[in-house]
Structure 1
Amino acid sequence: MGRVIAGRYLLLHRLGSGGMGHVWLAHDQRLACEVALKEIVFRDPDPTGDEREARVARARAEARHAAGLRGHPHVVTVHDVLEHEGLPWIVMEYVAGAVDLKELVETRGPLAPAECARIGLAVLDALTAGHERGVMHRDVKPANILLAPDRSGAPYGRILLTDYGISVQPDAGETRYTLASVLVGTSGYLAPERATGGPPTPAADLFSLGCTLYHGVEGHGPFERESHLAEVTAVVMEEPRPAVRAGALGPVLQALLVKDPGRRPSAPEAEAALSRIVTPQAEGYARVQTDPGSQPPWAGSAAAPAPPGPGTDGFGQPVVASVSGPAHRRRELPRALRAVLAVSLGLVLALGGVWYAMAHQKSGGDGAASPYGSAVGLSAALQGGECVLADWPGDRFQGVPRLTPDPSCRDQAPDGQVMAFVSAASADEARKLGPARCEERTQEIRERLADVRSLAVVPTGAGFEAVGRRTACLVLGAHGPVYGPLGDRRKVGSDFTDTANMQRRDCLQTHSDRDARLVSCSGPHDEQVLGFTRLGRDVTLTEARTQSDAACAKDVPPRDYGFDPSVYTSGSWSSQGAWRSGTHFVVCTVRKQNGGTMEGDES
C-alpha cells in the first residue's frame, strides 16, 4: 500500500490474489479515477530467466487478448500493460462492489437454476466473442466470474468474465506461456481432453462453463475431490456427481459435461437451452422458444400467480421524502419490446434470488407445535397475504430467520409477506423442489420491486401435514423492511410511508413532496413508476432531493418507455428506509412537465 507504480498509479489496498499475483485497487493520479492493477508475483524469490520471461510474456498476452474484447458487456476491460521495476502490471477496469461466483456461493449458498442460467448466458456470450477472434479462455471457473451492481443498483445485475491470463490463440502460432510441469487451468474445471494434453478448443471452454454452472447450482464442483490429482483423474475417468438441485438446468449441465468434445452442444445450442430456463414463457422474445423437454419440473404443476394489478396500495411507517420533479407520459411498448424489457429488468432485480429457510435441519420438537422447525419458531401454518417480521441470527439472509406474523402489515414495519404457496407430494419433495418453485412463483412480483428476495419456508417432515403439504413462498426486503403489503395485497387509495413497496407501473397521486398515494392507473394520476436507480454511498438523503431527478433522467429515461420528451419528464421519490439500509435506492417516475394529470392511456 502507498506505492506509486510507473509514476502514476497509487496502490490503495489489495483486492485479492491468484495464481499469477495480486490485484490491487489503485488511484490513477493522471485521470483521477480508480483502476484495478494486477501485479505479477513470483513464488520463487529468484526465478529463472525462462520463468520470468514466460510470466512477463503471459501478462502481455493477457492484456492483448482481453483488450481485443474491449467494450464487451461481459468482459472486464483491460486498459494497458506496463512495466515497473522490471515486472509487468496490467491496468484493468475496477468493478466496484463485485463479488466472484465462488465467493457468492460460499456466503449465500447454492443459487437457483434460473439464476445460474442467466449467469451462464452472460459468460457464454463473452466466451463466444473470444472464440470468434480465435481466443480460448482456458480457465473458466467460479472465481473468474464477477457479479456486480448494475446502473440501477441491482446487486448482481452485471456479470463479467475476467482473467484471460492463460488464454491462447491456438491457430495463431503464438507461444503458449506455460511451464512443462504445470497443468494450465484449474484441476476440477478442466475438460478431459485438456487434462490429457489435447489442444484448447471452444468445446473445452464449454465443458469448463458446465463445471462452473454446476458449482453455482449445487454448491460444489462436479469433480470435487480431496486433491488436485484426484480431481484431474475424476475429470478424465469418472462421471460427474449427479446434480440434485439443478432442476431444469440438469439436462444442460449433463450435455456440457460429456467427455467426448464432439458430442457437447455448440455455443448456439447451449445458448438456446439456457434461454429457455431463464425465460420459459417470455412472449415475443425471439431467442426463447418454449420446449417442454427443457421446462422446469414445476412448469406444469403450479399455476402462475395473477399479475399484480396496476392500481393497488401500500402503506408503512417512516416518512417518504419526495424528490419532486417533472415527468413524462408513458405509451404502450410493442409486445416484443415489452417482453425483452421485462426479462432484462426483471432478472436483474430478481437476482437477489431465492433463499431457503432450512427448518428441517433444526426441526426438533413436535411437528404440529412447530411445523417449520424450532429455528423458524412458528406454531401455526403461514397464511396467504400474511406479513412477517424476520429476526436473522446474523446478517440478513445468513442462517435461518425466526419469523413472527404481523397481521396488520404496518404496525412494526414488516420485513416481507407470504405471496404464494407451492404444494408437494412429500416432505422430501418439498425440501428438494420448494425453493425453486417459490422462486418461479414470486418472480413476477420481485421483478416489479427494487430490492427484495424470495424466501422458501419449507415444513419439517413432522409438520408437513399440519401445514397442508405446502411450502410458503415469502418475498422479503433484501436489506431492510418492506414497510407494508406488496403486489396485489395493497389497497387502492392507501398512502405510502416508504418507497420500499413502490413497484414498477404503480400510479401515484401526490399531494405534496412527502405524500404519495397509490391510485388506479385507469383514472387520473400524477405520476407512474418506471423503475429504480441508486445514488452513491456518500449522498445523504437531503442531498438526494436535488440529485435524484437527474439520476433518474439518466438511468431510467422516460423516452425509453415511449414517453414524448416534449410533454413528459422524470420525477423521483426517495425515503428514509433506503438510507437506513445503505442501499440508497431511488424510485424513478414519469410525470407531465406542466404538472397536469395523466389519464390512464399510458399503461
Structure 2
Amino acid sequence: MSSESPMSGVGRVVADRYLLLNRLGGGGMGHVWLAHDQRLACEVALKEIVFGDPAEPGQEREARVARARAEARHAAGLRGHPHVVTVHDVLEHEGLPWIVMEYLAGAVDLRELLARDGPRAPAECARIGLAVLDALTAGHERGVLHRDVKPANILLAPDRTGAPYGRILLTDYGISVRPDAGETRHTLASALVGTAGYLAPERATGGPPTPAADLFSLGCTLYRAVEGRGPFERENPLASLTAAVMEDPRPPVRAGALEPVLRGLLAKDPDRRMTAREAEAELARIITPQSEAYARPESDLGSAPPWASSARPGRLADTRAAPAAGAPHRRHRPHALRAALAGGLGLVLALGGAWYALADRETGTGTAAAPYGEAVGLVTPLRTGDCVLADWPGATRFTGTPRLTLDPTCADKVPDGQVVAFVGAASPQEARKEGPARCEERTRELRGRLADVRSLAVVPAPDGFEAAGRRTACLVLGAHGPVYGPLGDRRRFGTAFADTATMQRRDCLDVRSRREVRLVPCDGRYDEQVLGFTRLGRDVTLAEARTASDAACARKVPPRDYGFDPSVHEAGSWTSEGPWKSGTHVVVCTVRRQNGGTMEGAE
C-alpha cells in the first residue's frame, strides 16, 4: 500500500459509504483523502492509516490500530469546538482504521502558508495563537493532550464572510498514528510522539506528555510563524532535538510585542513556563491593546427550574438507554480572551460555525413587552432552565428566526430545547455582535456530551434590551428534532428517560425494564454507563435497530477503548423512536457487565 501512486485509490468506496475523490495529502504513515459520503451526500476528509511494513508484528500492529481508534474518539469529544477540526467517526475497512473528519474547502495549513507567503505579522500570529490555545485548553480540561502542535497541524480556512483565513483550526488532535505530511516523527519505545523542532525538552529527554509540553510546542509554532524559521531549527532532526534540550532559542528579530509570549512559552523548565491563562491574556493584549476585561454574569445553574416540582417520569418506547456523569465541569476563561475574539479581526463569525442570532430585524419595532423582538414572540424574558418549543419559518430547523413558546413542565409539550446560560452585554450592539459567539462557548461542553444538538443565541431586540435584562439567552436545541425533556444538570436523579435524546456521555443508568430506564448517580450501583453514540444506516428500521445496535456499538464504541476489561464487560445500546422520526438514526452506546450484574462507582 505504501508504494501506491498518489491517485491510485481514487474511485474506491470505503465501508460501503465513502467514495474517494482525490488525495489531499499524506506521508509515510498514511493518506488523507477528499471523499464523498454517499449516505449523507456531502464531502468529508478521510484519513487512512497505512503501515509501511506489511511484516510488522501483529501485536504491535494491533496496538497501533487500537490507539488510532481510541485517540480519534478523544478528538471526537471536542466535536463542536470552533477551533478543532471535527472528527465524525472512526471505522475499520479491510482491517485498517479510517478516521472520518470535517472537510474544510479552501483551507491551507500554516506551514504551507509560511512557505508560500513568508512570515506573518505579530498581531496575526497572536490571533492564531489565541485560537490554538483555546483548542488546547479545551482538550487539556478533558485530559486530552495534542502532543504534536506545529504549523502543519494548524489549518486556516475561509469563514462565513469569505475571508480566506478567518477560521483557525487545530487538526490531528491527540492522534499519534497519523499521516505526517512529510515531516519526521520520532518515537521512543512507542511513547515519544512529536516533531523535532517543536518537541518540549522534557519530552525529548523521555518525560511524560503534559499540558505544559503542548504550550512549548505552541511557542515554537508561533516563533516559526513570526520569524520565518523555528527557534531550534537545525540541519537535521537530531540536532534540532538536541538544541531544544541544551540551547536557548535564537533571539527573535521580527516578533515585536509577541516576544514576551515566546520567551514565556519557550522556558526550558515546565514549572517556570508561561501558563495558558497568562498566554491568553498576553496574546489578547496584542490584538486589542485598548480593550479591558469586563465581568459577565454567571448563569444561575444552581436555581431550581420551573418544571422541577411537576416533571413527570417519561418512558422509552420499546427502547434501551444509557448513563452520564454528574454536573458538568465549568470552563473558566480569561475575560481578555473573549474580548479579543470579539475584536475587529473577523473572528466572531468564525467561532460559531452553526449559530443563529435571534433578534428583531425591523428597527424600531421592538418594545419592552417583546424583549427579543416581534419575530421571536416572547413577551417576558427567558430564565435559566426554561424549556422552549421552536416554530421555524418554512418548517426548516435553524433557518430564519423561530417563534418561541415555553413548555413550563419541560415534558408535556415535547420541548425542542432549553435555556442553559446567559451572557451579558453593555449595549444592544455588543449583544448582537458578541452574543452568538459567547453562547457557542458557554454551551460547548454540554453539547459535547449530547449526541445531536446545536447552540442558539436569543439576542435582545434594540428596544427590548433592558426588558431582556441586558442579556443574550443561550439555548441548546435538538439539531434534528425535540430533546423531549431537560438537559445537563437540570435532569433529576431517579427520573425516567422519555427518549434517548437527553442521554449524555457518562450517564449512569438504572434499568428497570426494556421500556423504563432511570438516571442515577455514578458513585453508587447502576446497570449501565453511557460511553458514546453511533449512527445506523438510513435504510435500517427501528425494529431492525433494536437487534443490530448492540453489535454496532461493539464495533464503533468498544468498551475496551474506555478502559473496561473485555473479559468482564460488554457493549450495550439503547434506541428510541425520536432519532428514527428525525432520520438521524442515532444509537446510544453503553457498557454493562456480561453476567448482567450491577456495576459500582469505582468502575
TM-score of the two chains, using structure 1 as the length reference: 0.55
Q: 1:550 to 1:532 in 2, by over 3 A?
A: same
The residue number in structure 2 matching 1:289 is 276
Q: CA deviation at 1:357?
A: 2.8
The residue number in structure 2 matching 1:438 is 439
- Any idea what the Cα deviations from partners look like across 1:358-411, whole Å, max 9, x if unmatched? 314246534212110111111110111010000111321111111001111011
- Selected match of 2:89 from 118, 138, 150: 150
Separation of aligned partners in 2, 1:319 and 1:114: 27
- Any idea what the Cα deviations from partners look like across 1:253-294, whole Å, max 9, x if unmatched? xxx99xx98657979999xx9xx9xxxxxxx9x999332234
Q: CA deviation at 1:317?
A: 5.8
Q: 1:300 to 1:563 in 2, by over 3 A?
A: farther
The residue number in structure 1 matching 2:162 is 220
Amino acid at match of 1:582: G
> Is this contact kept in 2: 1:323–1:546, CA < 8 A?
no
The secondary structure found in structure 2 opposite 1:530 is strand
Matched, 1:117 2:95: no
Separation of aligned partners in 2, 1:521 and 1:491: 13
Q: CA deviation at 1:543?
A: 0.8
Matched, 1:321 2:318: yes
> Is this contact kept in 2: 1:533–1:586, CA < 8 A?
yes
Matched, 1:35 2:19: yes
The residue number in structure 2 matching 1:13 is none
Q: CA deviation at 1:443?
A: 1.6
> Is this contact kept in 2: 1:420–1:473, CA < 8 A?
yes
> Is this contact kept in 1: 2:391–2:402, CA < 8 A?
yes
Separation of aligned partners in 1, 2:231 and 2:399: 36
Separation of aligned partners in 2, 1:465 and 1:592: 54
The residue number in structure 2 matching 1:499 is 500
Separation of aligned partners in 1, 2:13 and 2:402: 46
The residue number in structure 1 matching 2:412 is 411
Q: 1:534 to 1:298 in 2, by over 3 A?
A: farther
Where structure 1 has 5 or more consecutive residues not aligned to the other structure, the ranges are 1-22, 39-62, 78-92, 102-112, 120-146, 171-190, 194-198, 225-255, 277-283, 331-350
Amino acid at match of 2:592: R
The residue number in structure 2 matching 1:524 is 525
The secondary structure found in structure 1 opposite 2:276 is coil
The secondary structure found in structure 2 opposite 1:512 is coil
The secondary structure found in structure 2 opposite 1:453 is strand
Where structure 2 has 5 or more consecutive residues not aligned to the other structure, the ranges are 1-6, 45-78, 92-98, 129-153, 167-220, 233-251, 262-270, 286-290, 326-350
The residue number in structure 2 matching 1:538 is 539
Amino acid at match of 2:318: A
> Is this contact kept in 1: 2:509–2:526, CA < 8 A?
yes
The residue number in structure 2 matching 1:555 is 556
The residue number in structure 2 matching 1:392 is 392
> Is this contact kept in 1: 2:316–2:498, CA < 8 A?
yes
Q: CA deviation at 1:571?
A: 0.9
Q: 1:427 to 1:320 in 2, by over 3 A?
A: same
> Is this contact kept in 2: 1:416–1:477, CA < 8 A?
yes
Separation of aligned partners in 2, 1:382 and 1:570: 40
Q: CA deviation at 1:35?
A: 2.8
Alignment of 1:95-110 (within 5 A): 95-96=37-38, 97=40, 99=42
The residue number in structure 2 matching 1:136 is none
Separation of aligned partners in 1, 2:13 and 2:600: 53
Alignment of 1:364-403 (within 5 A): 365-394=365-394, 395-403=396-404
Q: 1:32 to 1:159 in 2, by over 3 A?
A: closer
Q: CA deviation at 1:588?
A: 1.0
The residue number in structure 2 matching 1:334 is none
Amino acid at match of 1:388: V
Separation of aligned partners in 2, 1:503 and 1:585: 13
The residue number in structure 1 matching 2:295 is 301
The secondary structure found in structure 2 opposite 1:117 is coil
The residue number in structure 1 matching 2:472 is 471
Aligned residues: 399
Separation of aligned partners in 1, 2:157 and 2:19: 32
The secondary structure found in structure 2 opposite 1:382 is coil
- Any idea what the Cα deviations from partners look like across 1:146-191, whole Å, max 9, x if unmatched? x784249xxx971346799x99x99xxxxxxxxxxxxxxxxxxxx7
The residue number in structure 2 matching 1:71 is 30
Separation of aligned partners in 1, 2:378 and 2:19: 49
Q: 1:151 to 1:484 in 2, by over 3 A?
A: farther
Separation of aligned partners in 2, 1:566 and 1:559: 10
Separation of aligned partners in 1, 2:15 and 2:551: 24
Q: 1:578 to 1:223 in 2, by over 3 A?
A: closer
Q: 1:29 to 1:492 in 2, by over 3 A?
A: closer
Amino acid at match of 1:293: E
Separation of aligned partners in 2, 1:496 and 1:575: 10
Separation of aligned partners in 2, 1:562 and 1:483: 31
Q: 1:301 to 1:324 in 2, by over 3 A?
A: closer
> Is this contact kept in 2: 1:568–1:590, CA < 8 A?
yes
The secondary structure found in structure 2 opposite 1:455 is strand
The residue number in structure 2 matching 1:421 is 422
- Any idea what the Cα deviations from partners look like across 1:541-576, whole Å, max 9, x if unmatched? 111111111111122222222222222111110110
Alignment of 1:45-64 (within 5 A): none
Separation of aligned partners in 2, 1:397 and 1:114: 16
The residue number in structure 2 matching 1:173 is none
Amino acid at match of 2:426: A
Separation of aligned partners in 2, 1:448 and 1:509: 19
Amino acid at match of 1:322: T
Alignment of 1:251-270 (within 5 A): none
- Any idea what the Cα deviations from partners look like across 1:425-463, whole Å, max 9, x if unmatched? 111111111111111211221111111111110101110
The residue number in structure 2 matching 1:576 is 577
Amino acid at match of 2:479: A
> Is this contact kept in 2: 1:364–1:373, CA < 8 A?
no
- Any idea what the Cα deviations from partners look like across 1:103-147, whole Å, max 9, x if unmatched? xxxxxxxxxx9844224xxxxxxxxxxxxxxxxxxxxxxxxxxx7
> Is this contact kept in 2: 1:541–1:579, CA < 8 A?
yes
What is the percentage of aligned positions where both structures have the same residue?
Answer: 50
- Report the aligned-residue RMSD: 5.1
- Any idea what the Cα deviations from partners look like across 1:322-361, whole Å, max 9, x if unmatched? 3589x9x99xxxxxxxxxxxxxxxxxxxx99652333142
Amino acid at match of 1:118: V
> Is this contact kept in 2: 1:353–1:454, CA < 8 A?
no
> Is this contact kept in 2: 1:352–1:478, CA < 8 A?
no
> Is this contact kept in 1: 2:371–2:378, CA < 8 A?
yes
Q: 1:601 to 1:583 in 2, by over 3 A?
A: same
> Is this contact kept in 1: 2:366–2:374, CA < 8 A?
no
The secondary structure found in structure 2 opposite 1:321 is coil
> Is this contact kept in 2: 1:315–1:484, CA < 8 A?
no
Separation of aligned partners in 2, 1:363 and 1:406: 29
Separation of aligned partners in 1, 2:302 and 2:353: 19
The secondary structure found in structure 2 opposite 1:551 is helix
Amino acid at match of 2:548: Q
Separation of aligned partners in 1, 2:524 and 2:15: 51
Q: 1:415 to 1:364 in 2, by over 3 A?
A: farther
